[in-house]
Amino acid sequence: MKKTSKLARWFKIALLDVVIVILLQRADIPLTGYFNLHLSEQVGSKQFNFFGWEVMAMLNKLGMEFAAPQDTLNESTRHDLVIAYLKGLEQAKRLRGEIEEIYSRNAPAQAAELAAAQQAELTQLRAWLSARQNLVEGILEEQTSTELEAEGFGLGGYVWPPVKIRFTDLPMLLVISKRAQITREADVHLKAGIPLPEQIALENKIDGCFADMRSLVTPIGGLSAYPAMILETSSLVWLADTFAHEWAHHYLIIFPLGYNYNQSGEMTTLNETTASIIGREIGQRIILRYYPELSAQLPPIPTPPACAPMSAGELIWPEEPPPDVFSYDREMRRTRLQVDQLLEQGQVEEAERYMELRRQEFVEHGYKIRKLNQAYFAFHGSYATSPATGNPLGGQLEWLRGQKPTLREYVREIARYGNYDDLKARLMPFACTP
């Protein structure tokens, strides 16, 4: 009877998977006509195979559901398993770095001999991690579900859609923006691990083919496929936030907010910022309840502004270092605002020269930004809590969150907005006054 129940449950989850994957396609910016045809020609075989990844991920999850060994483990054992797994990921990262360093300094044949010990250790470690991956994912899924349910997102003892995550090598993302205006014209998911020279070559092809566009190939930290695709990292604070962030996209897709993700740049930003707020709060709950020894690593939750800001100039930012100390957040915000001003004046080439000069300055201060262009701001500006944004949406949503007693009440309010104008009308009576 237990197996029949699990089979029925997984049939429902598989059906949900199909629905979510179809709906999540709306999060891809639609491409039409000439642009679509020629962009596809430039990307070619580098595009990521989502279907193949989904099949393998769901088969792994199906096997884990029937085994469900985490059900027999006490909380202390679960804690230790997760921590040991993440330490293993950190060790694997260190070994890969050592191997890459050896190959960068020696001829291939000599490097293979010099790196043999590290390669053998890495192979053994990856086998150890692979044997425990499903179990650790199951533990983290259950912990995330428990905190979501405690915040009011459960129904009948279940969180829907179920929290499903998968540690994996993530696709890279090709982002395309107009030159004369920072806009997210297109996103194309590329195969994982494309070498840097190939990334640069693809960007040059795109920029050469579309003279009025600028492109960027960038890594991402998570992707709201189903199961959610999560980057392998040893930072549990970051992971806890990201699990809930990606689940938020699964949840919101059936509401006007999520369904209209790609209707405008503002709607994309509303979705990403709302998911960031959910991830931040649920992630903190996960750490405080299950991994309290890491609580000192949690970033502070910002104090909501007293009114709803209607321009970037009205935003209230957290306390920063004094002016004579370089502040990434402060300098990136200044850069974005100056770029916006130059583009509004039609000074496109001047804006591009300015961005390159600023990029060099960030690099001098230890921030390894490979390319700072319109596409960079189009991608990072989608998160209104980021210093790369040029709009007041982050402050507006932080204000709205502060008006609601619980996270669930905030999500219930924001999820019903299918366009930004309706939200602005809601906020106007509470707007900041000059």
Residues of the chain with pLDDT under 70: 1-42, 44, 61-71, 104, 312-320, 382-391, 434
Kindly report each contact of residues 385-391 with a partner whose C-beta sits within 8 Å and lies 24 or more positions away, as own/partner. 385/273, 385/276, 385/277, 387/328, 387/329, 387/330, 387/332, 387/333, 387/336, 388/332, 388/333, 388/336, 389/269, 389/312, 389/336, 390/182, 390/312, 390/336, 390/337, 390/339, 390/340, 391/266, 391/269, 391/312
Q: What is the pLDDT of residue 150?
A: 95
Q: What is the pLDDT of residue 246?
A: 93
Backbone angles phi, psi at 227, to 5 degrees: -60, 155
Over the stretch 352-411, which tens digit does the pLDDT of each residue have? 999 999 999 998 998 888 899 999 999 887 665 555 555 678 888 999 999 999 999 999
Whether the Cβ atoms of residue 395 and residue 305 lie closer than 8 Å to each other: yes
Over the stretch 118-159, which tens digit does the pLDDT of each residue have? 999 999 999 999 999 999 999 999 999 999 999 999 888 789
Dihedral sign computed on CA atoms, order 396, 402, 404, 406: positive
List the domain boundaries for the chain.
68-149
pTM tops 0.85 = no
Query: What is the Cα–Cα distance from 264 to 266, expressed in whole angstroms?
Result: 5
Phi-psi domain of 72 (left: phi exceeds 0; alpha: psi -120 through 50; beta: other): alpha
Whether the Cβ atoms of residue 378 and residue 370 lie closer than 8 Å to each other: no
First to last CA, the chain: 66
Q: What is the pLDDT of residue 141?
A: 94
Whether the Cβ atoms of residue 145 and residue 163 lie closer than 8 Å to each other: yes
Query: What is the Cα–Cα distance from 110 to 319, expressed in whole angstroms?
Result: 52
Q: What is the pLDDT of residue 316?
A: 53
Helix (H, G, I), strand (E, B) or coil at 165: strand
Q: What is the pLDDT of residue 32?
A: 45
